[in-house]
Chains A and B, each alone.
Chain A
Amino acid sequence: MTHEFEALLRECLARQAARAPHRAFLIAALRRRRTARMWLPLVVAVVIALALTVVVSVEFRAGGELGVPPARRPPDDGLPLAAESISDHWDLRVPVEPRWLPSGLVEHQRMVNTGGTMATRFWTPGPVVDEAAQWVSLSLLRLDAEDLLFTGDQVDIRGSSGRFSPYALPGDAVLTWWGALGFRFTVTVHGLPNGREVATQIARSVESAPGEGMRLAARFGAIPAGMTPTYGGIRGASPGEAGGFLRAGAPDGRELHAEVLPVAPAELGVELTVRGREVWFRSGVGADGASEQVVVDLGGRWLVVRYFGGEPDAGRLTGLAQVAETVRFGPVPFSPWLGTRPE
């Protein structure tokens, strides 16, 4: 073998290795698998966690550390925070649109990642995305031209070769295809009957739609150590109920969500006083999957901070309260697309 050929072979393998999935995807998948395998112990754990929450909440109400001013507050070992503030603007223009969607679905959310390399739109039958039984998403992902090798059943998308992911979760159909040089499109159908047929019909109807620029100003202040902002976006049932949201994640799979809602979330938790302000705190895995939640009444709107950190830990209260205090959302741009569907 010539030296040149060996060098080329080594380079190809190195480039192949560089396409490895991020560990965060695997950690998240492992968490789902472990949850599925160990549902019974989890139920027991949740019951214990809820009992602990009541005990801890009672202690807090009795005048514990919550009344201590920030400067004198003891270190919060439950959720160490990063000191660095992060500022971002989120360009939410997604220049594609499906001309066909299943009946009843309306657009509920648009989001982009921090690098601006991925944009996603969501349609649901109702106002909820995270816990919705049915939803459809369309993602636009910028990748290098070599990211072509993927397996799965093949389908024609108006002359382009689409592939169904063989690794989609049960009940999901994930269809990916190249729509233009350097962009990969993905349609995900969740919870709908005949998901593959639905995904194919949606994919074949996708057209470019320049749309108007739309920018959300939002930033995290303090966030848990090891986390970085991942996504920002807008969601809501209608333009009058639009709210911004931010997400951060860590390589080990932990996530942090911050969102402004027009109505209070269903699972408020226990009312406490933190730095003279009324907040609601919940520790224990709820329907949204979060291990902890802090809610602040902004006077007609509600700031919700959720932490997805595995085992519930009431000790994260002060850290999450600081996240809630320092997160900032600018005015939500007019979002006429909320609650609508393609004409």
Chain B
Amino acid sequence: MPDSFEDFLTERLDSLLRYATTLTCDPYQAQDIVQEVVLRAQPKWGRIARMDLPHAYVKRMVTNEFLSWRRRRWTRDVQVPHGGMEDLSPPLADPTALVDDRAVLTAGIARLPRKQRVAVVLRYYDNRSDAEIAEELGCSESTVRSHISRAVATLRAHLGTPERLKEAL
């Protein structure tokens, strides 16, 4: 167990940032979410540190912050119409020309509903079991399986031609 909050940050901050980035698909948003969590965890560290798995608790704080954050920010974010992106193609070489399945899949992950995205990340990035994911999300294991099944079906549907990427964007 880390002795102090600073020790905890030294050991776990990088993994929290990586986890938050897989959830948000946006490094800036990931940084903001982890920042909020760290600011809220620090005053309570005395209690958190006494838990069996302090890092798991803080990680769940990140998950919850992501879920609530998205709800809070939804009204402020400007949604870009699909057609608008096509109209604004850059004058120079477009990096999206380097489309491959990974790019399509990455874009697809970013558009998954938030709970599906959390379930996918916990399963395929964090290697959690259905039971562990259910506990993290506060739902049943069958709901977890449903989230993952739907997410995988959506992602598979996006794989294909480069035109699929434009749909995903």
A-to-B contact residues, CB < 8 Å: 1, 5-6, 8-21, 23, 25-27, 29-30, 33-34, 145-146, 148-154, 156, 158-161, 165-167, 178-182, 252
Kindly state the separation between the CA atoms of A158 and B22 in the bound complex, as whole angstroms.
32
Residues of B within 8 A of A14 (CB): 125
A13 near B26 (CB under 8 angstroms)? no
Residues of B within 8 A of A21 (CB): 17, 21, 27-28, 30-31
A13 near B22 (CB under 8 angstroms)? yes
B-to-A contact residues, CB < 8 Å: 6, 9-10, 13-14, 17-22, 25-32, 34-35, 38-39, 73, 76-78, 80, 84-85, 88-96, 98, 101-103, 105-107, 109-110, 120-121, 124-125, 152, 155-156, 159
B25 near A16 (CB under 8 angstroms)? yes
| 22 A-B interface contacts by CB (under 8 A) | A9-B152, A11-B102, A13-B109, A13-B120, A13-B124, A17-B18, A17-B19, A17-B125, A20-B18, A20-B27, A21-B27, A21-B30, A23-B13, A29-B35, A33-B39, A145-B96, A150-B27, A150-B28, A154-B84, A159-B88, A178-B95, A181-B93
Kindly state the separation between the CA atoms of A161 and B89 in the bound complex, as whole angstroms.
7
Would A30 and B38 be within 8 Å (CB), given that A150-B28, A151-B26 are in contact? Answer: yes
B21 near A19 (CB under 8 angstroms)? yes
B23 (CB) vs chain A CBs: closest residue? A16
Kindly state the separation between the CA atoms of A125 and B70 in the bound complex, as whole angstroms.
39
B98 near A12 (CB under 8 angstroms)? no
Q: B146 to nearest A CB, angstroms?
A: 14
Main secondary structure of the interface of B (DSSP, over half): helix
Kindly state the separation between the CA atoms of A27 and B98 in the bound complex, as whole angstroms.
34
Kindly state the separation between the CA atoms of A146 and B110 in the bound complex, as whole angstroms.
13
B19 near A145 (CB under 8 angstroms)? no
Q: B27 to nearest A CB, angstroms?
A: 5
A151 near B77 (CB under 8 angstroms)? yes
* From B39, B76, B106, B121, contact of A146 by CB (8 A): B106
B92 near A180 (CB under 8 angstroms)? yes
B102 near A161 (CB under 8 angstroms)? no
B153 (CB) vs chain A CBs: closest residue? A1
B31 near A25 (CB under 8 angstroms)? yes
B39 near A5 (CB under 8 angstroms)? no
Kindly state the separation between the CA atoms of A6 and B88 in the bound complex, as whole angstroms.
33
| Interface-centre pick from B18, B95, B102 (highest chain A CB count, 10 A) | B95
A154 (CB) vs chain B CBs: closest residue? B80
Kindly state the separation between the CA atoms of A165 and B14 in the bound complex, as whole angstroms.
22
A15 near B92 (CB under 8 angstroms)? no
B27 near A19 (CB under 8 angstroms)? yes
A161 (CB) vs chain B CBs: closest residue? B88
Residues of B within 8 A of A156 (CB): 88
B31 near A145 (CB under 8 angstroms)? no
Residues of A within 8 A of B88 (CB): 154, 156, 159-161
Residues of B within 8 A of A1 (CB): 152, 156
Kindly state the separation between the CA atoms of A19 and B20 in the bound complex, as whole angstroms.
10
Kindly state the separation between the CA atoms of A19 and B109 in the bound complex, as whole angstroms.
15
Kindly state the separation between the CA atoms of A8 and B19 in the bound complex, as whole angstroms.
18
Kindly state the separation between the CA atoms of A180 and B92 in the bound complex, as whole angstroms.
6
A160 near B90 (CB under 8 angstroms)? yes
